[in-house]
Structures are given as structure tokens and as C-alpha cells.
Amino acid sequence: MLDMQVWFSASGTGSENLRGVFDRIPSDRMEEHMSQMKEKSRCSGCGICSEVCPFKIIDVQKGSQATFRPERRHLCQRCGQCMAVCPSGFVQVEGLSYEDNFAGIRPFGFGEDEFADFLASRRSVRNFDRRDVPRDVVQKVVDAVRYAPFGSHPEKISMTIVDDRRTIESALPMVSEFLGRIVPMIENPLISFFIKKSSTPEVFNTVKNHLYPISKQGTYKLENGDRITRGAPVLILFHSDTAAEARTANTLINATYAMLQAHALGLGAAMVEVVPAAVNQVKGLKELFQIPEKHEVGMSLILGYPKYKYRRAISRPVPAANWI
């Protein structure tokens, strides 16, 4: 077993990058928590760290202190769960520090009903007023992803924040042109067959049954206005290397967290999938948004101050739920 306070090497684990993610936790929320930690930094042998570790890396034998299982330590994801749960602040995972990567939990001021109300009152906002969103407010939206669950390697998801409307507008002709091309491609049986063969059923069905009919109506033509980013002052692109672990799920969860944070701040946001579809195919768009060559954009979020106030929640039927 390895002693808790001196454990494994960070080499090859990406911990530096993860640290970068955690580093943005505001230091003003750390103080109270840290003073509690320092007062009682001893292992009581309670075993909670071992129970919460998803990979059973920590061993706590009755009456002894927690130790790391050397044969399992390479499985560590630096998820931080063991350090977050330890009552005495004893666990020390290399690459994470109580000072830099953890914060006290403020009591949150809403219960079950308020949370349901919060979710129910969120809408995909596609109409914005003319106000720009200050950078410090956008930053809060961006920062929300630090609390998102992840499948693996959260540090591999990047965000590109475009808060200059002129840049967004200079992208629109390329996005529009790309979306317009969907129509002749789907209507050509040979090309349509090729797209079907070379993509997943999900992608093909989305293009054929969702994007094609919208595009055929001329929706994305710029002479009909900006029906792509809807005049939003901010566009956030979530992207990653195509080989990044769990990138599809991680990207969508990050975008969801950002969208919910936007709602909490009184902003309006909507996920827009047509922008990533275009950026991933059109070189000029990748260059404009400075997306690394090997990256794919998984989702985009438009953001701004909402023009309209929704008067009621939309209560959709709960999809099939099978109780066993």
C-alpha cells in the first residue's frame, strides 16, 4: 500500500490539464473550508473515500488509515471525489490540492419545488434584445462547466467563445451555403445513398428528416434574416479532438450546464447544432473560429439577453418510462 500523503506520479495522466479546469474555482470560497481541513488533517479510518472512489483505488482496513492500492492507482481519473468527501482533508491525490481545486459548498437557496420551477422556466431562447453581454457575465456561463459530470478526461473539451457579433456575422454566409447544399444532396438518390452508407443512422436521419425539410423552405438563406445564430451577441463552440474519450457526451453535458447557468443569470441561450455541422465540414469556418485542425465541434450555444418573457412553461409528456 502507498501512504496517502505521498502517492502516485502524474506522468501521462493529463492531470496538469485537469488542474487547469479546477484552477478557475474562485479563491474567496476556499478559506472557510480550508481552515476546517487544516484543523483536523488526520485519517479516522471511516472508509468513506474508499466507498465513493469509482475505481476502488483506496483501501481502508478496520482500525487503520486509508491507503492507495498500487495496482489500481493507474485507474485514477482525478475526479476528486475522495478529497471532496473526506471529513478531515486527509486524502491527497497528486495533481489536486485542497487549496487550488476545492471550494466550500455554500448552502443553496432553493429546494425541490424551486429547482423544478427553474427547469420548467428555461426555454431555448432565439430572440435577443440589442444589449451586449459583458464578458464577466459570459465568463460565469463558461465557468459552469467545472461542475459538470464527465465520462473521462473533461480537460479534453475546449470552448471557443465568440463575443464579437461581427465575427459571428462573417461566418453566416459559409454556414448558410453549407446548409443550402443539403437540399440537392438529399434529393440526389446517389449522393443520398452515399451519405447514408458513410454516416450513422442517427446522422443520416437528422440530416434527411430534420435539416433537409427546414433547409428546403429556405430557412437558412440569409435573405430571410439570420435564422442560424438568431442575431445572438455571443456564440460558444464546444469542441474536442475527434479521438477524445467520451467527447460526445461530455460536450453535450457541458453545453447543458452552460445553458442552465445562462438561465440562472437571466440570459437566454439555445443549443444550435447546425453551426457545428457546418464548422466541421467547412475549412474557412474552422479557420475563422480558430478551431484546431483535429478538433470537431460537438455543440454550439447562442447567448444573449432575451427579448421576450415566456409566460408559461411547456409541459411535454414524459417520454416512455418503463418501470421494472
Ligand X SMILES: Cc1cc2nc3c(=O)[nH]c(=O)nc-3n(C[C@H](O)[C@H](O)[C@H](O)COP(=O)(O)O)c2cc1C
HEC states along 77-127? CCCCHHHHHCCCCCCCCCCCCHHHHCCCCCCCCCCHHHHHHHHHHCCECCC
Contact between 197 and 274 under an 8 Å Cβ cutoff? The reply is no
Residue from 18, 30, 93, 285 in contact with ligand SF4 (CB under 6 A): 93
| Residue among 86 and 299 whose Cβ is closer to ligand X | 299
Contact 291, 237 (CB under 8 A): yes
Residue 84: Cβ-neighbour burial (10 angstroms; 0-12, 13-18, 19+): middle
Cβ 88 to ligand SF4, closest distance in Å? 5
271 binds, among ligand SF4, ligand X, none (CB under 5 to 8 A by kind): ligand X
Nearest to 285 by CA among 177, 128, 144: 177
Stretch in the footprint of ligand SF4 (CB under 6 A) among 56-64, 155-163, 192-200, 287-295: 56-64
Residue among 3 and 31 whose Cβ is closer to ligand SF4: 3
- Residue of the chain from 273, 282, 284, 288 that contacts ligand X (CB under 6 A): 273
Q: Does 272 help bind ligand X (rule: CB under 6 A)?
A: yes
| Residue number with the smallest Cβ distance to ligand X | 124
320 contributes a contact to ligand X by CB under 6 A: no
Strand-pair partners of 301: 236, 271
Of residues 76 through 95, those in contact with ligand X by CB under 6 A are: none
> Phi-psi bin for 230: left (phi > 0), alpha (psi -120 to 50), beta?
left
Does position 269 interact with ligand SF4 (CB under 6 A)? The reply is: no
Residues 219-258 that bind ligand X (CB under 6 A): none
Nearest to 285 by CA among 233, 237, 225: 237
Under DSSP, is residue 137 helix (H, G, I), strand (E, B) or coil?
helix
Among positions 13, 15, 67, 77, the unique one binding ligand SF4 when judged by CB under 6 A: 77
Residues in contact with ligand SF4 by the rule CB under 6 A:
43-49, 52-55, 57-58, 60, 66, 76-82, 86-88, 90-91, 93
Q: Which parts of this chain interact with ligand X (CB under 6 A)?
A: 123-124, 126, 270-274, 314
